[in-house]
Structure 1
Amino acid sequence: MLTDTVVIEIAFMAMTVAAKMAAPVLLTALGVGFVISLFQSVTQIQEATLSFVPKAVAIGAVLLLTGNWMLREMMTFTVQIYEKIPSLLG
């Protein structure tokens, strides 16, 4: 049966999976952005592409490295949700 507790549990699981999926990309963008802005402030180069291109390359590399793990995590979450459907309806 779908109670308030079950809904909160499913929402918590979904937010946890979303945070785990976003963490590698966001932390990479944060780290690269910090290094680039530190470099820009030291050298006083204010070029917009200097900030964008390294971030895009780093995020692409992180997605290539962690994509398989992200897919497995999403598949595990989806299977867990589908397995709960009979107990939620019954």
Structure 2
Amino acid sequence: MTNGEVLDIMRSAIVVALKIGGPILILSMVVGVFISIIQAATQIHEQTITFVPKVLLIVFVCLVCGPWMLETLQDFLYQVFGLMI
């Protein structure tokens, strides 16, 4: 295996990680900013107000996008295992 092939695998791994983790991170950040704006407007600064909606959103996104995430990860692993043969 050459250095170029290893770099291609690492690049693919980073792209897959961004595809899988990106939607969850972006949506939780948007919800966090929205709730922070509401907290600043109402001057209620309770930590659990931001925690609970983020957890519920992450669970919902994992339920909705879980099959796609699993399929993406499987495709990448099949590609990596195929290079081992």
TM-score bucket of the superposed structures, by smaller chain = over 0.9
TM-score normalised to the size of structure 1? 0.91
Residue by residue over 1:36-76, the C-alpha shift from the partner in whole angstroms, topping out at 9 and shown as x without a partner, is: 00000011000111010011111110111100000000110
* Identity over aligned pairs, percent: 38
Structure 2 unaligned regions, length at least 5: none
The alignment's C-alpha RMSD in Å is 0.7
TM-score normalised to the size of structure 2? 0.96
Offset, 1:83: 1.1
Aligned length: 85
Residue by residue over 1:3-30, the C-alpha shift from the partner in whole angstroms, topping out at 9 and shown as x without a partner, is: 1101100000111101111101101110
Q: Which runs of 4+ in 1 moved over 4 A?
A: none
- Residues 1:28 and 2:27 aligned together: yes
Structure 1 unaligned regions, length at least 5: none
After TM superposition, the structure 1 = structure 2 runs for residues 31-42 of structure 1, keeping only pairs within 5 Å, are 31-42=30-41
More relative contact order in 1 or in 2 (CA 8 Å, sep 6+)? 1
| Other-structure match for 1:76 | 75
| Other-structure match for 1:50 | 49
Partner Cα distance (1:18, 1:40) in 2:
32
Which of these two proteins has the greater Rg computed from alpha carbons?
Answer: 1
